[in-house]
Amino acid sequence: MVDSKQMLKLSVTEFTAATAAKQPTPGGGSVAGLVGALATGLGEMALNFTIGKKKYAEFAELHASISSRLEKARGMFLDLVADDITAYSMYGEATQLPDGAEKDAALELALAAAINVPREMAKLCLAVMQDIKTLTTCSNRFLVSDLVAGAALASGTTVLCDMNVRINARSLSDKAVANEIREGSTKDRLAAAGLALEIEEAVKEHLD
């Protein structure tokens, strides 16, 4: 199994091979973080092909703000890839402890980490998608398909996040908290799906 520090140094070929291998990580959570980073990168690309164009000079300040946010978001997604792997390692270590209060506490902590990572990813996806939506009105029209692609990937990332949240929340001892977490996760997933449709509709005239 590749550790969290090594994971981000793998080539595309190595990462996909590691994903396919008979090992627990990278799994759905790590893939979600990578896809989120790629979604953000597509938004950045469309923006970078827009910045400096006279036609969009009036949006220079807005573009600078969005550029800064997207760059930070991309880095955060990659950090979350490592966090997901760490959370899985915590869970694996907890399962090896002798039965008792210490093991129960360690498992709860590991589950909390395994849930918090995809919840943070989903929130980050929604923030990125809001910036992509803004770019549909003030970026190079020849790159609108990349904005739609970025939104689709970000929305897909929230689906992966929701699956990870649901599979882990079912093991929480507090079922009321588990239900609340699942409801919040589903809400974010649906919000992302709605945003993806809005973004596609916003650029429809440039695609048809």
In this prediction, residue 2 carries a pLDDT of 59
Dihedral sign (CA 147, 82, 20, 115): negative
* Lowest-confidence region among 12-21, 56-65, 125-134: 12-21
Dihedral sign (CA 141, 143, 145, 147): negative
Confidence of residue 38 (pLDDT cuts 50, 70, 90): very high
Angle at 22 between CA 19 and CA 23, to 5 degrees: 70
In this prediction, residue 92 carries a pLDDT of 86
Average pLDDT over the chain reads 93
Cis peptide before 26 (omega within 30 of 0): yes
Q: Is 100 left (phi over 0), alpha (psi -120 to 50) or beta?
A: left
Which tokens go with 174?
């507090």
pTM summary value: 0.92
Give domain limits for the chain.
Answer: 28-207
158 has pLDDT over 70: yes
| Residues 54-90 pLDDT 10s | 999 999 999 999 999 999 999 999 999 999 988 888 8
108 has pLDDT over 90: no
Q: Is the domain defined by 28-207 classed in CATH 3.20.20.70?
A: no
Segment 137-162 mean pLDDT: 96
Does 186 or 4 have the greater pLDDT score?
A: 186
Q: In whole angstroms, how far apart are CA 122 and each of 76, 116, 135, 144, 203?
A: 12, 10, 20, 23, 24
Burial of 138 (0-12, 13-18, 19+ CB in 10 A): middle
